[in-house]
Amino acid sequence: GRMKRAAPRSTLRNLIKRHKPQLRLAANADLLVHLNFLLFLHRLAEEARANAFENKSKTIKSEHAMVAAKVIK
Amino acid sequence: AMAPRRKREPALPSSLVKKIFSHYVKVPVARDAFKVVEKCVEVYFRQLSNDLEAYTLHARRKTVEEADLELLMRRQGLVTDKMPLHVLIERHLPLEHRKLLIPVAMSGNKVIPHK
């Protein structure tokens, strides 16, 4: 589908480099970083939606996202 | 007065974060909720970097290998015996990346000679 877009590989590498300058990433490890990031957002989205639903809200509000963030940490 | 502009740091474009989150959440998202999501992404990458460093140091390496990510995803409960890594790869990554990560899957395209 449309969501299966290419990973922003150099941005991902730079992001990790910013946090850990001495850390190197093997050739395709960044693709799995991207996968993990997608799965993180997926989980955050599911939790936020469940929370909005519990509060009888049809849109995701910041408080729903905040509660979701606490749950998945 | 305006706050001094910070040096631009590498970050995922907020439009990309928005797009991915919206795709998964499937319902409308308030603008300030996106701000929360972006903050979460920042925290996520900080934590991820710490974890990956810990894994590689533990293995006495300087390079993060694919195996480190697989182990991380196992600890996160994303990869299990019933949900192997390659299934997650197939479900979430585009073909061009799948080809790089699972060359074995591509060799499944064997040309069996017809009789």
Question: How many CB pairs (< 8 A) connect A and B?
Answer: 162
pTM of the model: 0.88
Judging contacts by C-beta atoms under 8 Å, the chain B residues touching residue A33 are 48, 69
Residue-level pLDDT at B109: 53
B92 closest CA partner among A37, A44, A45, A50? A37
Lowest mean pLDDT: which of A2-16, A26-40, A48-62, B18-32? A2-16
Higher local confidence (pLDDT), B113 or B21: B21
B78 closest CA partner among A47, A50, A70, A40? A40
Residue B60 has pLDDT above 90, yes or no: yes
pLDDT tens digits, B65-113: 999 999 999 999 999 999 999 999 999 999 999 999 987 544 455 555 5
